[in-house]
Amino acid sequence: MSETLRETMTAEDAYDGSPAKLVTLHNLAGMSVTFMDIGATWLSCIIPLKEEKREVMLGISTMSDYQKLGSYIGATIGRYANRIQAGKFEIEGQVYQLSTNQAGNTLHGGAEGFDKRRWDIEAQGDDFVCFGLLSEDGDQGFPGEVKAFVTYRLTADNRIVISYHATTTKPTPVNLTNHAYFNLIAPESGICCKGHTLQINADQYLPITEVGIPLGELASVEGTGFDFRHLKTIGQDLLKDEQQQKVKGYDHAYLLNAECKEGKCAATVISPDNEITMKVFTDKPALQLYTGNWLGGETNRSGGKYIDYAGVALETQFLPDSPNHPEWSQESCILQPGDEYRFETTYLFEY
Buried-exposed string 264-296: b where 16+ CB fall within 10 A, e elsewhere: ebbbbbbbbeebbebbbbbbbbbbbbbbbbbbe
Annotated binding residue at 251? Answer: yes
The secondary structure element, H or E, covering residue 219 is: strand 219-220
The pLDDT of residue 41: 98
Closest of 323, 339, 333 to residue 176, by C-alpha: 333
Spatial contact of 197 and 226, defined as CB atoms under 8 Å apart? no
Q: Is 311 exposed, middle or buried (0-12, 13-18, 19+ CB in 10 A)?
A: buried
- List 108, 196, 252, 315, catalytic entry: 315
Is pLDDT above 90 for 172?
Answer: yes
Is the pLDDT assigned to residue 262 strictly greater than 70? yes
Mean pLDDT of 139-168: 98
The answer on whether 83 is annotated among ligand-binding residues is yes
Cis peptide leading into residue 79 (ω within 30°): yes
Q: What is the DSSP letter of 93?
A: T
Percent of the chain with pLDDT over 70: 100
**What is the per-residue pLDDT across 203-244, written as a single tens digit (0 to 9) for each?**
999 999 999 999 999 999 999 999 999 999 999 999 999 999
Predicted local confidence at residue 1, as pLDDT: 63
Mean pLDDT of 165-170: 98
Domain that holds residue 206: 2-350
115 is in an annotated binding site: no
Catalytic one of 179, 196, 252, 325: 179
Task: Confirm whether residue 324 is marked as ligand binding.
Answer: no
Tell me if 206 sits within 8 A of 240, measured CB to CB. no
Mean pLDDT of the chain: 97
Residue 315 annotated in active site: yes
Residues 6+ apart with CB under 8 A from 100: 86, 87, 106, 110, 111
CATH number at residue 75: 2.70.98.10
Q: How many helices (H) and strands (E) does the chain have?
A: 3, 27
In tens, the pLDDT along 90-138 reads: 999 999 999 999 999 999 999 999 999 999 999 999 999 999 999 999 9
Which SS3 state, helix, strand or coil, does residue 38 take? strand
Provide the domain count of the chain: 1
Q: How far apart are CA 116 and CA 101, in angstroms?
A: 13
pLDDT digits (tens, 9 = 90+) for 314-324: 999 999 999 99
For residue 149, give the nearest of 161, 162, 135, 166 by alpha carbon.
166
According to the model, what pLDDT value does residue 329 have? 86
